[in-house]
Chains A and B, each alone.
Chain A
């Protein structure tokens, strides 16, 4: 990244200048070796002759050669190591050992339109170095952040190319748009999924309001700044790395198998032996008893759908970089290939990516340098869906009695035989290897009519992909008229082009999983985004006073021009009936053309901003910083006279450990560093505004026919009505955040500790309220509501070495409290999300006093029994109620005679008690939310000689998952066997005298016979589970082959590694992996009815450098 470099150099030279004494001595060629404490050569270390411009860079073997006087002093430095000064003292074979700079005191971090020394920071900025993430198996820079930074939560998707979502310090909006602003090498980007971690120099996360304020209205959800690597100064180098991951299915949900399924449904009474025999499930009736008594394998089929659907697969990542540099400039060219065939059998879940990176900078004059970064990405993704009627729901919902494939018409499921015998075989979907001679069909259920059917069929009927090309880049000129002033003009751009294609034809799997339409669609999206920024950085030292100032402006424009075309009808729409080679819009027949629909409206969005920063520090003890930004957005977002917003921030720091009194009191060995920070800042979130929301117009569309004659479409009169209510006051969401921080290092810098406390309040949430319905609008958009996120960011690290054995432990903990503090007076509570198509009463709810999108449902209290009958006010046990579920709910207050007590208004008094049938209006309570209350990450690094071992894990706790795999209105659909396994069961025994006795087996859950159809139960805390987990993300063993062996093959560095990624997960959740068991990351967070499961990976890695 050019900014870093351009400012680093003046900073470094400033530093060096102070150190250089004057003087010159007799010159001779001095040779030496630079190595680290383990004796490994350091490649690329800088060896400078003090007081001169002469210098050298160490080679592969750490050797250098420099012309210097025999009494000269060599200044040897290398990033991450302490700089050593060595007097030549007449020697000519100098061995120099650099110590690792544990404190990284002089680390420079990127802070937005500038850089700052880490030790000078007064805001909360987290920094991750490329080295910490380069060996991860992910190809997504976002996913690589998981567990590495406190206060940052990553929401992963298990699917290939799924893309990780980033949340910085909580969830500050009711909208789904709560991701941070992403800036790569100064360019605002739409995602960072394209960035391979190996190309990254560093990632900075601006967490507090003060640090982020320099990005104003877009920074309300934090800012992630990424710097890609530029070429190494010194020797040119070629590096290659390969990561080959063998992926296999991770945690599965605990579903019914065949014998349990039969036992369960026979118990419920909705499946009889007769039905099983009629369906040909058993050859003989006797076998039934075999199953019921738990002898497995006696049935005809016992399909484990996970095994039928998933298989081991490979994901490969290649990265090749060539880099080099000298005093004038740097160059890096990188090539990356990702080829991930997901774990679903076949090739319907794939992610392929090709990326090229070109980074170059060159200093033409002392006063002018030019930097350019370019990234070219080509991607293609095929994915399978979740939700109602989807592939992923099918995996968990189809019954285990249905086989994956059948070979005999007698095994057809419900209604399939009939369809098969109708014209066109009723569009019964056929597997690709079907032939008339050797027929094979997808297994279809004889027991359930379901919208999903066989998942393999759902997979095969999907024929769609998305692909695109993105070019992202920037070019900047850097003017340095004085040593203390740098003026920068930078143009950033993104050129995006993407296409999607899909084709579907009628199919029949069951009467609910079917389609009667042919459809085809194609879309082309083209976009150009550019940003132009000009800013000037001033930095100067006056004695002990350090003064920095920055002022700048930016203008950005986004233009898109997307075109779509589609056609669908129940009659054939293509010229060649089923030929795959005719699945293009060009091949529509007359009917297809008659149904052709196209869409296109180009759009633009623009914004401009002025911003500035003042920083001041005194004697490395006191730090002050002020940021200010004024942002204006175009008229599609805000009305003209409300378009400007102002975002100030203030921060201050105090390094106590540099105070004399402190040094006198405390030994440097005990407390090496101690600093306090405090900040306040205001940010905005503008993602939520678009499409002229403030301005209602007459919208056309909607038709009525006053006529009954004519061809379709003739005589339709298009309706016109206002599109909504005007709201000229609309504005962005605004966050204000206070941060108090402490950075400390103890015991000679071996122990480090960072704690931040923050309190972030976001107000003016954009809420779609339902105005009073009598006004005639179904919804209106207003700014209303407030969310609080508060918590601690805690980081602890320990690094030490014992001889050749180096080790480090770092851990971070992020407790978070999220609470809605206000919504809207007309809308104190509202629900959204969920998964459509599934019937239940649970609601994802947004309400004052609760976590955002909490699960609002009934509180399950246990089972009516001889021990609990009094809970519902029974004086004695009512046998008929034994085994029923009990819920919390309001009950009438009764007087001594059992009559309801009335209040002054004549209304029946109620109190919170226990009921059988809770009331949806009054008895629903907060059952937790999908948002973790606590996330953490732990990394352990061990190094010994050439070996290194990394154990890295992350976890979350306090989050809940609502499992929606079992539903009351469709009890035969498969799902978790969790409740059944621990439920009350009755057995009726006939006594000799003809009476019957009911024997009960007790459990934690009610008698399913009385519960399987109870919506309340499946909308209660009984199926809200803890989603807490701890996952070993990576256990990696690496070995770096000593260079003395490899250099014969001209290899300067060779590292081999093997790692187990996502291999072990500790959780109590009975569904699949709790990390990815979520329908989406917004209002339906934590809703699980089948999602792409996480895969376990064994990753083989090779890193080579030449």
Chain B
């Protein structure tokens, strides 16, 4: 039996002496924060992360990943009076509809995602600035990296100030112990801008201060000079921010520096359309744009840090910009767009299409078989419904060889093989002019060597285009009594556009109209109206505000009498029918209106409180120090 004890003792001794060091398992494939942020390579990687965050969280779908839109574009453009929210029916694409119609009782997710995204982006800017801006013995490259991050951060704060007035201010990486409050709150840091105006001032100064450490675009042909923050962009942003702050003299100086640098130029009218497609990437007109490229190493849905190209890009946005295929008997833009389906979420209000056509073309007719004049700019921006359906514009790739398309125009007008489908209350939210500017072109999704899929457009997202610099400059000239200089640049824009309107005299109203045509859906319109209506409140501004107040009250439905007579359309008020050419006899397409949001009990239309967006409710719930904007409490 002694043997038994021995074995038992051994067993026990053996069993109870296992080593705790077996519990130490080193983490694989990681770097630590303590050893990073030292070298130029580290600076470049940290800066790349800042740009990537700018791409994802400022301009892209954000890490939080909403559905089929990019919050930045929604907040900047959808509240405009030049947008009508479409889709299949009322209720489709709520994320944009509720903002377009100013009926967001709650906080729509686009507002929440944009707010959060901007701060996620700022955090990465602050990392670069904290580690390299004041580093002793920083190399030139490290200084440049810090300066670029500074301008990116300034841009982020510019958007925050536009939308929220006095949002929380963080010019360094915050810790969870920091009090986060509105910048005008007494608990805010001392250096925080105390008003929206002060915020714009701060943005402008940040850009100015960064200039000395930045590189300069080599020439108008330097594409890469448009893919990163340069002196040119810093001046352009400083100018824009000063203009928003009401400091027009300083703004004018800054903007003039961009013009005088000679590194930027308007492209010829023939190439106007290319600016919004892949051929225009890095063109002489681009002051700064987020560079998209096909990257086989980055997965569609995820890569490295878990953010795939869907978040970086405008994934699915091409679908929402494309006309809605199932509303048409024959999908008209298929060849133009490649495979993109089309959800028709953007429509053109009747007033805007007609005003634009009259201004640029001198008439509101389609190009048609007779080839009526249309400016480069108009052709690139809008399409008359006839031109879309009959395919007579001559725009490359718009289908004209559809087998069932009658050969003669006279037969096309009557053909049942084309047109807008019956039984669906027409095409919701659309008028006689269809938006074309941002509809993806087949090549936009393809780059040499590959493509993710056709819904990932690879053309860059424009942050600043030279045309805007010129228009901002012209505005500042007008406001500082330099009408001659203003006329020079407004005419330059008009001539390049091929517009029928070349203004002999340029005043603020001329400029405002010109800007609304030149910069459609380029993130200017709503903020311009807000700014102008406070500065000038002239007849033009009053019209704009009046239109905003009517938003959501008269949604057009575009119908086709060949497919369905007005009397057969469900829910139509026959007294409310508008024909494309004035009367039924000469027209095929007609419009009637609904106001379904109102019918469902929503209050629609712009109110004074909409000058600022509300802080997302969820963020307020978690932060007692943050105060809601006026009118939203």
Binding site for B on A (CB under 8 A): 268-272, 274-275, 278, 367-368, 414-415, 418, 421, 448-449, 477, 479, 481, 487, 489, 511-512, 514, 516-517, 532, 534-536, 552-553, 555, 557, 568-571, 594-595, 597, 601-608, 610, 632-636, 640, 643, 692, 695-709, 711-713, 715-723, 725, 770-778, 826-829, 839, 880, 884, 907, 915-917, 919-921, 968-971, 1010, 1013-1016
Contact = CB atoms under 8 A, between A and B. Distances in A.
B323 to A, nearest CB: 12
A877 B55 CA distance: 54
Given A415-B325, A632-B20, A702-B53, 6 more contacts: A511-B325, A511-B326, A595-B296, A703-B295, A704-B55, A916-B601
Interface stretch (B76-84, B120-128, B347-355, B383-391): B120-128
Contact of B12 (A278, A367, A534, A720): A534
Contacts of A715: 293
A367 B3 CA distance: 11
Contact of A971 (B46, B89, B295): B89
Nearest to B339: A516
Contact of A697 (B7, B30, B447, B622): B30
B23 A570 contact: no
23 contacts: A269-B571, A418-B331, A511-B331, A532-B18, A552-B15, A553-B16, A595-B450, A695-B27, A701-B304, A703-B304, A704-B291, A705-B292, A706-B51, A717-B44, A720-B49, A776-B123, A776-B124, A777-B123, A839-B94, A907-B633, A915-B601, A969-B89, A1016-B600
B325 A414 contact: yes
Given A632-B20, A699-B305, A776-B173, A269 B45 contact: no
Interface of B: 1, 4-5, 7-8, 11-12, 14-16, 18, 20, 22-33, 36, 42, 44-53, 55-56, 63-64, 87-94, 105-107, 115-116, 119-120, 122-124, 126-127, 168, 170, 173-176, 178, 180, 223-224, 227-228, 281-282, 291-300, 303-307, 325-326, 330-331, 334, 339, 341-342, 403, 416, 421-425, 447-451, 453-454, 563-564, 568, 570-571, 596, 599-602, 617-619, 621-623, 633
Contacts of A725: 176
A614 to B, nearest CB: 18
B25 A703 contact: no
A671 B174 CA distance: 70
Contact of A921 (B105, B116, B297): B105
Contact of A700 (B7, B123, B305): B305
B305 A702 contact: yes
Interface centre among B107, B224, B448 (most CB of A within 10 A): B224
B617 A534 contact: no
Contact of A969 (B8, B92, B180): B92
Contacts of A610: 16
A1053 to B, nearest CB: 42
A914 to B, nearest CB: 11
A773 B342 CA distance: 34
Contact of B23 (A634, A696, A776): A634
B91 A969 contact: yes
A555 B30 contact: no
B422 A272 contact: yes
Contacts of A775: 119, 123, 174-176, 178, 180
Contacts of B48: 702-704, 706, 717-720
A713 B293 CA distance: 8
A815 to B, nearest CB: 34
Nearest to A512: B341
Contacts of B42: 720
Contacts of B25: 604-606, 634-636
Given A269-B570, A481-B1, A712-B296, A1014 B600 contact: yes
B52 A702 contact: yes
B423 A921 contact: no
Given A481-B5, A633-B23, A720 B339 contact: no
B63 A778 contact: yes
Contacts of B107: 921
B23 A772 contact: no
Interface centre among A269, A532, A775, A970 (most CB of B within 10 A): A775
A703 B52 contact: yes
B264 to A, nearest CB: 17
B325 to A, nearest CB: 6
A801 B421 CA distance: 75
Nearest to B598: A917
Given A449-B341, A1013-B596, A712 B91 contact: no
A883 to B, nearest CB: 11
Nearest to A450: B326
Contacts of A1013: 89-92, 596
Contacts of A771: 176
A536 B12 contact: yes
B180 A479 contact: no
A629 to B, nearest CB: 15
Given A418-B331, A708-B291, A774-B174, A608 B20 contact: yes
A705 B228 CA distance: 9
Nearest to A552: B15
Nearest to A270: B424
Interface centre among A270, A514, A971 (most CB of B within 10 A): A270
Contacts of A418: 330-331, 334
Given A269-B425, A274-B422, A706-B228, A449 B326 contact: yes
Given A704-B52, A776-B122, A270 B423 contact: yes
Contacts of A971: 89
Given A517-B453, A601-B29, A721-B124, A712 B176 contact: no
A106 B449 CA distance: 75
Q: Which 4 A-B pairs have the closest CB atoms?
A: A701-B304, A776-B123, A269-B570, A534-B15
Contacts of B92: 969-970, 1013
A727 to B, nearest CB: 10
Given A367-B4, A708-B293, A1013-B90, A773 B116 contact: yes
Contacts of B450: 569-571, 595, 712
B23 A697 contact: no
Given A712-B294, A720-B36, A722-B33, A917 B601 contact: yes
Contacts of B448: 711-712
B1 A699 contact: no
Nearest to A479: B8
B282 A708 contact: yes
A634 B330 CA distance: 63
A1014 B619 contact: no
Given A449-B341, A773-B120, A708 B224 contact: yes
Contact of B18 (A555, A635, A719): A555
A702 B60 CA distance: 13
Contacts of B106: 919-921
Contacts of A517: 453
Contact of B11 (A269, A275, A487, A601): A487
B305 A698 contact: no
Contacts of A271: 423-424
Contact of B622 (A640, A772, A907): A772
A777 B122 CA distance: 11
B49 A635 contact: no
Given A706-B228, A713-B296, A969-B89, A917 B600 contact: yes
Given A269-B425, A606-B25, A774-B170, A274 B568 contact: yes
A534 B16 contact: yes
A427 B44 CA distance: 44
Interface centre among A272, A594, A719 (most CB of B within 10 A): A719
B617 A921 contact: yes
Contact of B306 (A414, A603, A701, A968): A701
Contacts of A718: 45, 48, 304
A971 B31 CA distance: 51
A701 B22 contact: no
A1013 B602 CA distance: 14
